[in-house]
Chain A
Amino acid sequence: MSHAKVRVLVAKPGLDSHDRGAKVVARAYRDAGLEVVYTGLHQTPEEIAEAAVQEDVDVAALSILSGAHLTLVPEVVNRLRAKGADDVLILVGGIIPDEDVPALKEAGAAGVFGPGANLDEIVEFTLANLRRRGA
């Protein structure tokens, strides 16, 4: 019998000075029964992509407050693709102006969640949009 668990990487690319939001989201995922790998502050896109590969996560949730999302998100997506991990669902949270959302989606983010996002909604969206992966 298979006991698959959904695994999520919660990562903070860039130079943000705090991670309260990321921790709140990590906890919401845990409380929904998901396994959350949390990697802490100041991660480079390469570190995030490598962690996503090693941890074989279904989802990479990137929390960005610094305003550098238009650079960081495509960078993470590119690194993941280069490693063959293009089946990871990419989510972005943090302080993201509405006008940047289309560009992030264009870059590969499946969902973008601003400061007012509801935690249940984030978890629901995540579970509804998982991509099936083969061995």
Chain B
Amino acid sequence: MDLVDRLLDGDRRALARAITLTENEDPLAGDLAAAVFPHTGRARTLGVTGPPGVGKSTVVDGLVHLERATGRRVGVVAVDPTSPFSGGAILGDRIRMRRGASDPGVFIRSLATRGHLGGLSWHTGSVVRLLDAAGFDTILIETVGAGQAEVEIMRYAVTTIVILVPGLGDEVQAIKAGILEIADILVVNKADREGADGLVRELEATLELGAGSAASWKPPVLKTVATADRGLDAVLAAAHDHYLYLESSGSLQARLERELNAEVRGLVRDLAGRAALDWARSAGAWDSALSEVLARRTDPRSAAAGLVTRFLGRVQRKSRP
């Protein structure tokens, strides 16, 4: 596929087009993912999450700038929510990402959630792989404004940075049960505001309660003022330390195996389910099973089990020599 060759060659339009095809679930997307997969696994992924308004995009802009200073090429995936009413979205993360805007070593793509919960888009993982295959060394993934439930970022980012700001009040209590747990690095941004030191102490005390063995990673709590580029070098250094820790402890490999295992399992479920549904619809078994459920003569689970059993029986008959 010409598009794949161009993408692997670093052609920005080809990369942008490939991301669109992936997001749109175009029929070409499967072949595209298969063709780039052997060229992935090289990039380092960093996730940035936190409640709305804490400065995620500004932090990302600063981290991009620092990574570029070391010569690394940087990809950014920035996710904003889709309106549940119109299906449209306003993607505004680029407003704060000005420094990389015309740098050929930077590629920024805004994605809408398109109905996916969890703080990311359905296709985040695939988009990250496309950037990886196109030769970006570091890939930053920014979630929507997140609180308790949006923890999916940890699947795609090797290192997850959670950003908070002073003055969130009780919200910090709620976050303790959610995204705080997935933080490899905690950042208190807007640290020139009153209450920053108090928040740092509170977070450190919370982490102390959940601390594991002496050998395990202890998330540092770092203060930043992202609009003035203060403290971001320490964040990047901590991300580097975290990566080295994962590598030396064997967790990096274990994590990769866990994620790929989960991905293949999920796809088997998905593909098997689709195949069964396609058969049931085309064979007319679907309508009769559903009418039994609507009449309350069969419960949903039994109806589904019946369909799957018939589908599997058919598959077995077909595969006999």
Contact = CB atoms under 8 A, between A and B. Distances in A.
Interface of A: 1-5, 7, 26-27, 29-40, 43-44, 46-47, 50-51, 53-56, 83-85, 135
B88 A31 contact: yes
B72 interface: no
B313 to A, nearest CB: 28
Interface in B13-27: 13, 16-17, 19-21, 23-27
B90 A56 contact: no
Interface of B: 3, 12-13, 16-17, 19-21, 23-28, 82-83, 85-92, 94-95, 98, 101-102, 107-110, 112, 114
Closest 7 CB pairs of A and B: A40-B95, A30-B88, A56-B16, A47-B101, A33-B87, A56-B20, A33-B88
A74 B314 CA distance: 63
A53 B91 CA distance: 15
B88 A35 contact: yes
Contacts of B101: 39, 43, 47, 50-51
Nearest to B115: A3
Contacts of B28: 135
22 contacts: A2-B24, A2-B25, A3-B25, A4-B24, A5-B87, A5-B112, A29-B88, A30-B89, A35-B91, A35-B112, A39-B95, A39-B101, A40-B92, A40-B94, A40-B98, A47-B98, A51-B94, A51-B108, A54-B109, A56-B13, A83-B13, A135-B17
A54 B93 CA distance: 13
A19 B109 CA distance: 22
Contacts of B12: 53-54, 83
A37 B110 CA distance: 7
B25 A56 contact: no
A3 B24 contact: yes
A36 B90 contact: yes
A30 B83 contact: yes
Contacts of B87: 5, 33
A109 to B, nearest CB: 22
Contact of A2 (B27, B98, B114): B27
A4 B85 CA distance: 17
Nearest to A133: B17
Contacts of B89: 30, 35-36
Given A39-B95, A85-B13, 20 more contacts: A1-B25, A3-B25, A3-B114, A5-B23, A5-B114, A27-B90, A30-B86, A30-B90, A32-B86, A33-B86, A35-B88, A35-B89, A40-B92, A40-B98, A51-B94, A53-B16, A54-B16, A55-B109, A55-B110, A135-B28
B146 to A, nearest CB: 20
B73 to A, nearest CB: 13
Given A2-B24, A50-B101, A38 B95 contact: yes
B99 to A, nearest CB: 11
Contacts of A3: 23-25, 114
A84 B92 contact: no
Nearest to B103: A50
Nearest to A11: B94
Contacts of B13: 53, 56, 83-85
Given A35-B91, A38-B91, A135 B107 contact: no
A59 B64 CA distance: 27
